[in-house]
Amino acid sequence: MKKATIDLFEKIFSVLKPPPDMTISQWADEYRRLSSESSAEPGRWRTSKAPYQREIMDAISDIKVQKIVVMSAAQIGKTDGFILNPIGYYMHYDPSPIMVLQPTIQMAETFSKDRLSPMLRDTPALQERVNDKSRNSGNTILQKIFPGGHVTMVGANSPAGLRSRPIRILLADEIDAYPATAGNEGDPLLLAGKRLTTFWNKKEVCVSTPTIKGLSRIEVEYEHSTQETWNVPCPECGELQPLEWGQIVFDKENLDEISHACCKCGVISSEVEWKELFHKGKFVAKYPERKVRGFHLNALASLFVEWKEIVSKFLTANEEKKKGNIELLKVWTNTEMGQTWEEEGEQLEKDELYKRREKYNCEVPEDVICLTAGVDTQDDRFEIEVVGWGEGKESWGIKYQVIYGDLKLKGVWDELDAFLNQTFTRSDGAKLKIICACIDSGGHFTNQVYKFCKTRIARRVFAIKGKGGAEVPYYNKPTTSNREKTPLFTVGVDTGKALLYQRLAVQEEGANYCHFPKEKDRGYTEEYFKGLTSEKMVMTYKRGKAQYIWTLKDSSYKRNEPLDCRNYATVALEIANPVLKKPDNTDTPTTQTKKKGRHTRSGGVI
């Protein structure tokens, strides 16, 4: 065989041979060059300057791992280590079609101009792979073509970009900043992920600083991963442990000496002593059996940032918090600790309400104008609250009653009827009836509720159906499209809870203030207040939109019937819409009696 032919075959086989056994960190240490535009120390890349990056980069090039998640602080070099280095590696040694997904098209262009192009220019191993100078190369700002593949940069807000050709490598950067949906086509990360389906050796890398708990995409991805945290050995006892903010020791009057206490031996060591051992650090997985590799890093692990800077930012943010500005502390939590920020939402503490109970010394206080009731239907009982209402919708808890029994039997319904039909005595001797009652028709006894309410429409005993969602109005006009043709009100329970919590938070007696009795036989126990305050309003991510929802404060305690009963009693007031105006006390007794008589039809006075 002629030498020319042999040389030709050798050249062909050199192109076709599989990539060498080299990890991304090894490739970066040998070939990657940092550019002056993006690095304070341009020149050769050294993984030793950020030792925590090695294991993450090598996981990306591990053929056994298909998905990698990195939830981290802002100053740990994640774009260079987990986006640019993989691009260089796959361009040079394992040519593949690559997609880089940025939050917007504009950010994709900026990434290409400011980060990718300088790396291609200054890294000799990549210079000849992409020909940006030729007009016929097919290269643009958002696409770089090289032998065996391409790098396509798209914005998460661009449906067209996410419908592009199949890809093997997806590098998704700052995913918490992605819009909820790409146009009308759905979640951009899911759309991009569908482009990976044709490759057996596909790779997906999701990187981001987290944002708000319950809204953070990267938090969800991390929670379904191995959950690996960076651990370093204690300078004193050598025990591996994560660097945590709770272990940082500092004097705010002298930030030149900041230390970290060992969670094992308790010895306090300086920042320098801890960082000298960073090269011996490793990631420790909470769920090592999971297929998705997930990594978490905070700024304390960075060799690029001094702890003094982190502490200074915290002190500034904490001072702003005292002034009512929580935003700086939120940013610090996300960007320095790499943790999500949990919105407090609307919530109340049971002890505050329990302590403000008062003695009525009567069945119904004199300022009560009318009574309503809310009934929660359970499989083995009714829970009922009777609430008194005064001017400005000031309210008084009158009675909280539980009626136990088999709801399939008539007797327990008769007990409910008798309770709702009873007469209450006000301190001035006036007799009050319940002017309106709302009964929950959800659960397993819907038709029984309909039948019960149908024969008591004249007493304004109505069936209701709760519906969640902040956009749902408190109540709508009733419908009769049910089997019994009885009026059925749809109640916006989330709207009602928000309104109720606003009233419970009022501290001064008067309009909207809520009174509760101290007498033991009325049912207002600690258990009642625990149920009344059992939920909190938090922000969450649902169907592509951020919204507030109500959720249990403690998942182990699900008895929220007192909250529902008060909510139903309140909507009963809105449905009845009585005139909440006390008679003029300056009138003569005769005139006053007549006014009370006129008030009978709306206020329930007999």
Residues 401/420, Cβ–Cβ less than 8 Å: no
Q: Which amino acid is at 44?
A: R
- 297 pLDDT more than 90: yes
pLDDT in the model for residue 159:
77
Q: Could you list the residue range(s) of the whole structural domain that residue 247 is in? A: 235-279
Do 150 and 47 share a domain, yes or no?
yes
pLDDT in the model for residue 597:
34
Do 263 and 164 share a domain, yes or no?
no
Mean pLDDT of the 74-85 span: 92
Do 243 and 216 share a domain, yes or no?
no
Residues 509/325, Cβ–Cβ less than 8 Å: no
Helix (H, G, I), strand (E, B) or coil at 406: coil
**Could you read off the pLDDT of 516-536 as tens digits, one per residue?**
999 989 999 999 999 999 888
Band the pLDDT of 404: cuts 50, 70, 90: very high
Measure the CA–CA gap between 37 and 387, rounded to whole angstroms.
Answer: 69
Do 400 and 492 share a domain, yes or no?
yes
Do 259 and 291 share a domain, yes or no?
no
CATH of the domain at 367: 3.30.420
In a domain, 330, yes or no: no
Do 366 and 403 share a domain, yes or no?
yes
Neighbours of 448 (CB within 10 A): 18
**Could you read off the pLDDT of 136-155 as tens digits, one per residue?**
567 899 999 999 999 999 99
* 324 Cβ contact partners less than 8 Å away, ≥ 6 residues apart: none
Q: Is 549 left (phi over 0), alpha (psi -120 to 50) or beta?
A: beta
In a domain, 6, yes or no: no
In a domain, 320, yes or no: no
pLDDT in the model for residue 315:
94
184 or 127: which carries more pLDDT confidence? 127
Measure the CA–CA gap between 174 and 78, rounded to whole angstroms.
Answer: 10
pLDDT in the model for residue 29:
96
Residues 151/100, Cβ–Cβ less than 8 Å: yes
Residues 297/338, Cβ–Cβ less than 8 Å: yes
Do 204 and 163 share a domain, yes or no?
yes
Q: What phi and psi, each to the nearest 5 degrees, are found at residue 251? A: -110, 115
Neighbours of 137 (CB within 10 A): 13
Measure the CA–CA gap between 404 and 411, rounded to whole angstroms.
Answer: 11
- 591 pLDDT more than 70: no
**Two tokens at 71?**
């939830």
**Could you read off the pLDDT of 424-440 as tens digits, one per residue?**
999 999 999 999 999 99
Do 258 and 403 share a domain, yes or no?
no
**Two tokens at 280?**
């011996």
**Could you read off the pLDDT of 202-215 as tens digits, one per residue?**
999 999 999 988 77
**Two tokens at 56?**
């993450």
Mean pLDDT of the 454-463 span: 96
Do 217 and 291 share a domain, yes or no?
yes
- 13 pLDDT more than 70: no
Domain count, the chain: 3
Mean pLDDT of the 19-33 span: 89
Q: Which amino acid is at 388?
A: G
Looking at 2-16, 45-59, 422-436, which range is the least confident one?
Answer: 2-16
In a domain, 336, yes or no: no
Do 152 and 241 share a domain, yes or no?
no
In a domain, 121, yes or no: yes
Q: Which residues pair with 296 in a beta bridge?
A: 71, 229
In a domain, 25, yes or no: yes
Residues 274/243, Cβ–Cβ less than 8 Å: yes
pLDDT in the model for residue 557:
77
- 346 pLDDT more than 70: no
pLDDT in the model for residue 314:
93
Band the pLDDT of 2: cuts 50, 70, 90: low
Do 463 and 576 share a domain, yes or no?
yes
Confirm whether pTM is higher than 0.85: no
Measure the CA–CA gap between 606 and 593, rounded to whole angstroms.
Answer: 11
CATH of the domain at 37: 3.40.50.300
Measure the CA–CA gap between 339 and 74, rounded to whole angstroms.
Answer: 11
User: What is the rounded average pLDDT for all residues in the chain?
Assistant: 87
In a domain, 598, yes or no: yes
3-state helix/strand/coil string of 256-316: EEEEEECCCCCCEEEHHHHHCCHHHCEEEECCCCCCCEEEEECHHHCCCCCHHHHHHHHHH
Q: Within 13 A of 138's CA, how many CA atoms are on the CB side?
A: 8
- 373 pLDDT more than 90: yes
**Two tokens at 461?**
């005993």
In a domain, 333, yes or no: no
pLDDT in the model for residue 158:
81
**Could you read off the pLDDT of 268-294 as tens digits, one per residue?**
999 999 999 999 999 999 999 999 999
Do 502 and 357 share a domain, yes or no?
yes
